[in-house]
Amino acid sequence: MIESLRLDEIRAARQQLGERVRTTPVHQWESPTLDELLGSETRVHLKLELLQRTGTFKPRGALLNMLQLSAEELARGVTAISAGNHAVAVAFAARSLGVDAKVVMIKTANPLRVELCRRYGATLEFAETAHAGFERVREIERTERRAFIHPFEGRVTALGTATVGLEFCEQVAPLDAVIVPVGGGGLCAGIASAVKVLWPACRVFGVEPTGADSMRRSFEAGEPRSIERVATIADSLGAPYAAPITFELCRRNVEAITLVSDAELREAMRHTLREFKLAVEPAGASALAALLGPLRETLRGRRVGLIVCGSNIDAASYARLVQPDS
C-alpha cells in the first residue's frame, strides 16, 4: 500500500531543502487577452518554477533524494537518465553536495541542457532512445554501484515536488483548479498531493502532450502503462512509461489527464512570450495550453493556477518552435 503524502512530511522536506532551492514567485495574469479568451471573471495565477535553480522544478526531487543517501553511497557517486532537465538537476545537486555524477541523456536533448549539464561537472553519455537510456543507466548503477536518482518515480521525489504545491498554496488564496504538466508524473504526484491536503475542494488536472500520453493510458487502464515511442516537441514530458508510486499518487489526487497537441503547445509558447515576457520550453507552456484548449470551458470564470515548470531551451530551437508556420 502506497502511503499518501502528509503535510508534516511536505513541510519537513521544504525545510530540509532550505536555501538550496528557491521559493519561486507567483504572477497573476491580468490583461485584455485573458478577458477575451476566458472572460473577465477568470483569475489565473502562474507559479514560475522556471525561475528555480537550473531553470526547472527538478532540483527539488534530485536534491531531496540525494540528501537521503549515506556518506558511503554519496562517495560512490550518482547516476541518472533524462531528456535533459533531470540530468541538469542531478549534475547541479551533485556539485552542490560534492558528489560525482554520471548521467545518460537522450541524444536529441536540447543543446542548452547538454551544455548546462557539462558546466555543472557531470560526465555525460548519450542514448538513442529513452528505453535504451533506462537500460544503460541501470547498467551503470549495477557495475559502478552508483546511486540511481530516478527522474520521476518514488515517494521522496514526490515529497520534493510537493514543496512546489506547498509554496503555491501559501502564496495565493485558495484556487478552484490547478493544472500541472505531466511527464513521468513526479511533479504532478507531489503538487496534487500537497494541494489536496491544503485545499481539498481544489480540482487538479494533469496535462500531457498527445505524443507522450503514458499517464493518460495508465489512468484508462487502472495501472501503470508504457508507450511505444515519444513523439512530441515537449521532449521533457516524454517519459516512456508510468511508474507505480507516481501513478498511484496521481490517481488519488488528479481529477483527469488532459491532452494537448504540439500546435497547442506552440500557440501557448507564443502567448507566454507576448503576455508574460517569458521564453519557455514547450513543457513550460503546457498548463497554459490546456487552459486555453481542452479545459477552456470547464474552467472559464474560475480561479486557476498554472505550473510553469521550466525553460531550458536554446534560442535557435525556441525561435523555430514559436514561428506561426512551424
Provide the pLDDT for residue 240: 87
3-state secondary structure of 297: helix
Q: Tens digit of pLDDT per residue, the chain (326 long)? A: 899 999 999 999 999 999 999 999 999 999 999 999 999 999 999 999 999 999 999 999 999 999 999 999 999 999 999 888 999 999 999 999 999 999 999 998 888 999 999 999 999 999 998 889 989 999 999 999 999 999 999 999 999 999 999 999 999 999 999 999 999 999 999 999 999 999 999 999 999 999 999 999 999 999 999 998 889 999 899 888 999 999 999 999 999 999 999 999 999 999 999 999 999 999 999 999 999 999 999 999 999 999 999 999 999 999 999 998 75
Beta bridge partners of 47: 26, 307
Q: What is the 3-state secondary structure (H, E, C) of 141-210?
A: HHHHCCEECCCCCCHHHHHHHHHHHHHHHHHCCCCCEEEEECCCCHHHHHHHHHHHHHCCCCEEEEEEEC
Provide the pLDDT for residue 84: 84
Q: How far is it, in rounded angstroms, from Cα 107 to Cα 128?
A: 6
Provide the pLDDT for residue 130: 82
Burial class (CB in 10 A: 0-12, 13-18, 19+), 15: exposed
189: number of Cβ within 10 Å: 35
Provide the pLDDT for residue 1: 83
Within 68-154, where are the H helices? Answer: 71-76, 85-97, 111-119, 130-144
Provide the pLDDT for residue 252: 97
Provide the pLDDT for residue 135: 94
3-state secondary structure of 81: strand
C-alpha cell at 173: 488564496
